[in-house]
Amino acid sequence: MKHSELGLHKAVKTIVLLQIVSCIYNLQQINYASYMKVNRILADTILERSKQYPVIAIVGPRQSGKTTLAQSSFPQKKYISLEDFDNREFAIDDPRGFLSGIKDGAILDEVQRVPQLLSYLQTEVDKNPEPGRFILTGSNQFLLMKGLSQSLAGRISINRLLPFSLEELDNTIYKPESIDHFLYRGGYPRIYDQNLDSRDWYSNYLNTYFEKDLKDFIQVSDLSSFRKLLVLLASSCGQLLNLSSIGNSIGVSHNTVKSWIAALEASFLVFLLQPYHNNYQKRVIKSPKIYFYDTGLASTLLRLKEHSQLTDHYIRGALFENWAIIEYVKSQLNRGLESDCYFWRDHTGNEVDLLIETANGPHPVEFKSGKTIKRDFFKGLEHFSKVAGTSHSTLVYGGDQNQERSGTTIIPWTDWPGNPVGY
């Protein structure tokens, strides 16, 4: 082979080799990107409903990913943030002129900032009820839901987006190493997207809430007592809500505590699980239980500094129960279903952590954070089976084995909730 031909041969081999290396690199990048991406389950629900309703609303706590979900699901739509002063002023001063500029529809972010716009939006979609025309987002549940139900009844699909669920993080690079990691870190997207220290992020989140959002719900003259309320609720997650006891502890009235908790509900910070009232026994508990929509926030309020502190912390069992109940709520809401679930407790202390309404009656579920299955895990389930006549139940625990034991399906935390409507 001549010298020139040999050089050409080597050059061709080099080019081919570089192309192969490039392809491998690109495949690795694509694969890594797929593990980086968190697919929101609610996306399928809102896309399907956008074929039926002219207005789609996505509501949920601040920073839960509403804007990202709206823009990624409807990339062709114009995006307008009503947090922006100029946009908000235009919408308030001239709502008809504002809407005339978006005849083809748009994403209107944080629409609760201009609640009066909703009545004008009703007139607009009545004239042109094209499905999926307007996408609304909002983080003030009470103000927004009142306006939506009054102005857009029958024209709107309302969808709730909460922070990441364990189901959404599965098969991604963000899948938690252990349940303690997830209890401590919580599920807010920005913590994962930017690999932030969760305690710092939640501290800033709370400061923003106190300084910016709280005034939209109520006037709090004693911010110190309000902060004490949050800490007290975090230390009491999974317990019955006693307004008078809480008020006495922080030095405010029963009615003040009630209004403050309503504000926390409205901003998707706390969740009240209602008791099951079917008359299996006449003397049943009628107070709700208090939980946080995100255990990372509760962990910050409890001043935990790292996940390892949960190993032998008194709150671990309660946080596990908190996580499991909210995980079920997320699984339902992400699929556009109502979270028809309750707890049951009688006056002697017998209780079941979660009752799921099914066509065959309530399905009892118990949550235990321990990694080893113990006989007393089944106490509440067995008692409920006797008084209610149920034949099957579920136990979710902190271990890693699936089992069946005399009418009870035992599943590890990593498999919960599984099929959310299959109980």
Q: What is the pLDDT of residues 89-99, one digit of tens each?
A: 999 999 999 99
d(CA 188, CA 63): 7
Q: Which pTM value belongs to this model?
A: 0.88
**Residues 317-342: tens digit of each pLDDT:** 999 999 999 999 999 999 999 888 99
pLDDT at 28: 46
Q: In whole angstroms, how far apart are CA 298 and each of 61, 76, 164, 199, 273?
A: 15, 38, 16, 10, 16
Q: Which residue has the tokens 């709502």?
A: 95
pLDDT tens-digit readout, 257-281: 998 998 899 889 999 999 997 765 5
Task: Tell me which of 344 and 214 has the higher pLDDT.
Answer: 344
- The 3-class SS string of the chain reads CCHHHHHHHHHHHHHHHHHHHHHHHHHHHHHHHHHHCCCCCHHHHHHHHCCCCCEEEEECCCCCCHHHHHHHHCCCCEEEECCCHHHHHHHHHCHHHHHHCCCCCEEEECHHHCCCHHHHHHHHHHHCCCCCCEEEEECCHHHHHHHHHHHCCCCEEEEECCCCCHHHHCCCCCCCCCHHHHHHHCCCHHHHHCCCCHHHHHHHHHHHHHHHHHHHHCCCCCHHHHHHHHHHHHHCCCCECCHHHHHHHHCCCHHHHHHHHHHHHHCCCEEEECECCCCCCCCECCCCEEEECCHHHHHHHCCCCCHHHHCCCCCHHHHHHHHHHHHHHHHHHCCCCCCCEEEEEECCCCEEEEEEEECCEEEEEEEECCCCCCHHHHHHHHHHHHHHCCCCEEEEECCCCCEEECCEEEEEHHHCCCCCCCC
Kindly report the backbone phi and psi dihedral angles of residue 114, in degrees, each rounded to the nearest multiple of 5, phi listed first.
-130, 70
Given a cut of 60, whether residue 143 has pLDDT beyond it is: no
The answer to which of 34-38, 74-78, 80-84, 402-406 has the lowest mean pLDDT is 34-38
Q: Is the pLDDT of residue 146 over 70?
A: no
Q: What is the mean pLDDT of residues 369-394?
A: 93
Average pLDDT over residues 225-241: 94
Distances from the Cα of 404 to the Cαs of 392, 393, 396, 401, in angstroms?
10, 10, 12, 10
| 64 token code pair | 């839960």
Which residues does residue 58 pair with via DSSP β-bridges, in sequence order? Answer: 137, 159
d(CA 289, CA 274): 7
Question: Quick one: pLDDT at residue 14?
Answer: 57
Q: Please tell me the least confidently modeled range out of 130-144, 189-203, 292-306, 385-399.
A: 130-144
Question: Distance between CA atoms of 415 and 347, rounded to whole angstroms?
Answer: 32
